[in-house]
Structure 1
């Protein structure tokens, strides 16, 4: 698994498209499929859109669900995740926004631990973290 992280509108999607332009790539936006579509590279972006549809009060269960699904998808094709950095020390006032930020933080830690590569994109520039 290859994970790209960065702020909103920092060029993550364009970077990934350029990186995998010679591959048969399928890009899903805000979806977490149980079965990968036929492709060489499956790119899932905006995972946080899927997260808001879940019960974030049970964040450990949500994280485990995502990890299990990701492991299944990795067996079917090369998996690339594009995630948005939501933290940066800002604590949202709304409870749901705080739950989303906290769940994303826990999920991203787990994903980064499992990932082969982690890259931060900052205004189109890539920085290899792992």
Structure 2
């Protein structure tokens, strides 16, 4: 699994398209900003890109405030199992870093921010590769 993170509008998606040859990704690119439904893990291509990971976290937190992190860890295990089930499969997760800046005043937004940070830690631990994209420039962390 490959995790790509960085600030909003810093070029994460563009970098992934260039890194993974856009023609290979067309059918396997799922963007949570535009539509939902990719959370199930029923993928039909060998390369899958899940963009907008923080939006999935927000949905999970809204549904299950106290057990959100556990639900997300189960989702991550499902994705990892999918990737490992056949040779050649590759999962790329793209998530915006929402942990910097001013701490939100609203309890639900603070919880979303916290759970996103914890989930990203889980994702980084499970990932084979981690890149941060700032202003279009990649930095490989792992």
TM-score normalised by structure 2 residue count: 0.82
Aligned 1:118-129 pairs, distance under 5 A: 118-129=130-141
Give, in whole Å, the separation in 1 of the partners of 2:39 and 2:108.
20
* CA distance, structure 2, for counterparts of residue 27 and residue 33 of structure 1: 14
**Does residue 1:35 correspond to 2:42, yes or no?**
yes
Output one character per residue of 1:75-94: Cα deviation in whole Å (capped at 9) or x when no partner. 25200000110112531111
Q: Is 1:17 equivalent to 2:17 in the alignment?
A: yes
CA RMSD of aligned residues (A): 1.6
- 1:56 is paired with a residue whose SS is coil
Residue 59 of structure 2 aligns to a residue whose secondary structure is coil
Q: Runs of 5+ in structure 2 lacking a partner?
A: 33-37
In structure 2, what is the Cα distance between the partners aligned to 1:56 and 1:23? 39
* Structure 1: gaps of 5 or more residues: none
Whether the aligned pair in 2 keeps the contact of 1:32 and 1:47 (CA below 8 Å) is no
Partner of 2:77: 68
Q: Which structure: greater helix fraction?
A: 2
Q: Number of residues paired by the alignment?
A: 129
4+ residue runs over 6 A deviation: none
Q: Is the contact made by 2:57 and 2:72 (CA closer than 8 Å) also made in structure 1?
A: no
2:68 equivalent to 1:56: no
Deviates more, 1:52-61 or 1:102-111: 52-61
